[in-house]
């Protein structure tokens, strides 16, 4: 058998902090059977996992894809096998999806890449090929079953998210529950400051259908006595079919006019038609969390190093914000998030972001998030209270009239 190039994950012993995340929170076939999916590499907060290029001879396994039999090397993912068989694998949603697998997170959380494997829906990005496996990629077949996604962290929330109106947010440390929330796993971004990384990169929990998640959050609504039901992440929008059905189910279970269905998102794949569909499905509040204005800053904040992909994502998130303001202000609540930490973004760029937003709608709510030491940026210093006050002033000078800032002492403003 000829030698071929593969990737396997390796531990860099001197960087490993033995947190156990890669061993306990990721669906992994095991170190000796590594399929090179890279989920543990993305997930490790200490960068103690790397994908190493190796050359070896692997036995072929027979798989059936859409009725045709093929041979592919053992110990690779279904996604990789499909790619080897000529499928296009895309990080971004594609309109013509024939022979294309849309795989945005590649860590087993979003299930947007799911295909039918031996008759069951499974994420292709982390599932290993097996001899005799049957795979169906046809969307019509896949969509005969309800979509699935890993969603967790169902809880009462005392602070709310970016898309929570300021008048509901607690001042200082006074906390009472204002929303119930759940968190969708998987993200297309790789933010080194990810504050929900344990959710974003874990894939171990059983996935839920939209109706299961909607029922759980509705029960929590009544338990906590609140009207707002939020979904955040990870990135909530990655699996479009799942999210739309989740909102539809939620609306059916909560037909009263007080119910607020809140989506927090980085908006990087949020096209106009997607926004229309979300609103049609019942979304009443949205919090697009825009990461930067300049491409270099966006790459630094999001960990996306590919210029083309980063450029598309950045453009899409700004276009989404503009579209929401032009078409939906007054009909739904829109609150914008902006990151701040002086190591990641300059005050000048924050000002320019403020000027752009103010030129579209000066009264839009803008919430500045103080980016602090998390995940792979444990070296960052949390911005001081005084720094956040200064950021607020800069945005107000830029023309924005409703600026709130997350600080070490809770939210301040508007
Ligand atoms: S791309 Fe496979 S689970 Fe998200």
Q: Which of 400, 189, 223 is nearest to 304 (CA)?
A: 189
At 253, give phi and psi (nearest 5°).
-75, -20
DSSP conformational letter for 400: -
Ligand 1 atom closest to Cα of residue 103: 1
When the candidates are 3.20.20.70, 3.40.50.620, 3.10.20.30, 3.40.50.300, the CATH number that belongs to 60-142 is 3.10.20.30
Q: Which helix (H) or strand (E) holds 350?
A: helix 347-360
Output the tens digit of pLDDT for each of the chain's 414 residues: 789 999 999 999 999 999 999 999 999 988 889 999 999 999 999 999 999 999 999 999 999 999 999 999 999 999 999 999 999 999 999 877 779 999 999 999 999 999 999 999 999 999 999 999 999 999 999 999 999 999 999 999 988 888 889 988 876 556 689 999 999 999 999 999 999 999 999 999 999 999 999 999 999 999 999 999 999 999 999 999 999 999 999 999 999 999 999 999 999 999 999 999 999 999 999 999 999 999 999 999 999 999 999 999 999 999 999 999 999 999 999 999 999 999 999 999 999 999 999 999 999 999 999 999 999 999 999 999 999 999 999 999 999 999 999 999 888 999
pLDDT number for residue 170:
73
CA–CA distances in Å: residue 73 to residues 62, 63, 84: 9, 10, 10
Using a 6 Å cutoff on CB, does residue 37 contact ligand 1?
A: no
Task: Give pLDDT, residue 370.
Answer: 95
- The preferred substitution site among 94, 107, 204 for testing ligand 1, maximizing ligand atoms within 8 Å of CB, is 107
Cβ(116) – ligand 1 distance below 6 Å: no
For the chain, state the CA radius of gyration.
Answer: 22
Q: Give pLDDT, residue 161.
A: 84
Cα distances from 229 to residues 24, 71, 89, 207, 317, in angstroms, run: 29, 47, 34, 19, 23
Which of ligand 1's atoms lies nearest the C-alpha of 106? 1
| CB proximity list for 88: less than 8 A, separation 6 or greater | 94, 99, 100, 101
Give 117's strand partners. 120, 135
Its pTM stands at: 0.97
- Residue 1 has a pLDDT of 76
Terminal Cα distance for the chain, rounded = 67
Phi-psi region of 161 (alpha: psi -120 to 50; beta: other; left: phi over 0): beta
Residue 186, ligand 1, Cβ within 6 A: yes
Q: Give the integer Cα–Cα distance in Å for 155 and 178.
A: 11
Q: State the architecture of 151-412 in CATH terms.
A: Alpha-Beta Barrel (3.20)
**Nearest atom within ligand 1 for CA of residue 126:** 2
| pLDDT value for 174 | 61
Q: What are the residue ranges spanned by the domains of the chain?
A: 4-56, 60-142, 151-412
Ligand 1: does its nearest atom lie under 6 Å from the Cβ of 65?
Answer: no
Q: Which of 125, 147, 206 to mutate to test the pocket of ligand 1 (most atoms within 8 A of CB)?
A: 125
Evaluate: CB of 150 within 6 angstroms of ligand 1: no
Query: How far, in Å, CA of 139 to CA of 99, rounded?
Result: 10
Q: Is the peptide bond before 88 cis (omega within 30 degrees of 0)?
A: no
Q: What is the pLDDT of residue 175?
A: 67
């Amino acid at each position: 058998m000829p030698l071929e190039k593969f990737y396997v994950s390796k531990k860099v012993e001197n960087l490993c902090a033995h947190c156990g995340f890669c061993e306990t929170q990721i669906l992994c076939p095991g170190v000796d059977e590594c399929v090179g999916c890279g989920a543990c590499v993305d997930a490790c907060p200490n960068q103690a996992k790397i994908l190493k290029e190796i050359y070896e001879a692997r036995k072929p396994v027979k798989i059936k894809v859409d009725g045709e039999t093929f041979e592919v090397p053992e110990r690779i993912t279904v996604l990789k096998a499909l790619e080897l068989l000529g499928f296009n694998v895309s990080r971004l949603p594609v309109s013509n999806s024939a022979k294309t697998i849309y795989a945005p997170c590649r860590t087993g959380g979003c299930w947007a890449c799911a295909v039918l494997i031996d008759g069951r829906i499974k994420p292709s990005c982390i599932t290993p090929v097996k001899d005799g496996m049957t795979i169906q990629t046809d969307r019509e077949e896949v969509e005969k079953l309800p979509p699935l996604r890993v969603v967790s962290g169902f809880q009462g929330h005392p602070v709310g998210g970016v898309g929570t109106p300021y008048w509901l947010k607690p001042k200082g440390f006074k906390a009472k529950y204002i929303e119930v929330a759940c968190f969708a796993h998987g993200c297309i971004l790789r933010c080194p400051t990810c504050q929900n990384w344990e959710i974003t990169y874990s894939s171990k929990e059983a996935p839920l259908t939209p109706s299961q998640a909607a029922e759980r959050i509705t029960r929590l609504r009544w338990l906590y006595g609140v009207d707002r039901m939020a979904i955040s992440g990870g990135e909530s929008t990655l699996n479009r079919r799942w999210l739309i059905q989740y909102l539809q189910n939620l609306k059916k279970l909560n037909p009263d006019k007080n119910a607020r269905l809140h989506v927090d998102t980085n908006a990087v794949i949020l096209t106009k038609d997607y926004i229309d569909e979300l609103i049609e499905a019942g979304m009443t509040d949205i919090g697009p969390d825009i990461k930067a204005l300049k491409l270099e800053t966006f790459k630094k904040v999001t960990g996306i190093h590919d210029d083309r992909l980063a450029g598309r994502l950045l453009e899409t998130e700004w276009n989404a914000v503009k579209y929401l303001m032009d078409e939906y202000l007054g009909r739904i609540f829109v609150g914008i998030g902006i990151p701040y930490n002086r190591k990641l973004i300059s005050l000048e760029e924050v000002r320019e972001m403020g000027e752009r937003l103010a030129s579209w709608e000066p009264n839009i709510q803008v919430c500045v998030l103080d980016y602090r030491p998390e995940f792979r940026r444990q070296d960052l210093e949390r911005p001081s209270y005084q720094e956040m006050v200064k950021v607020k002033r800069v945005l107000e000078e830029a023309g924005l009239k409703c600026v709130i800032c997350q600080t070490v002492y809770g939210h301040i403003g508007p």
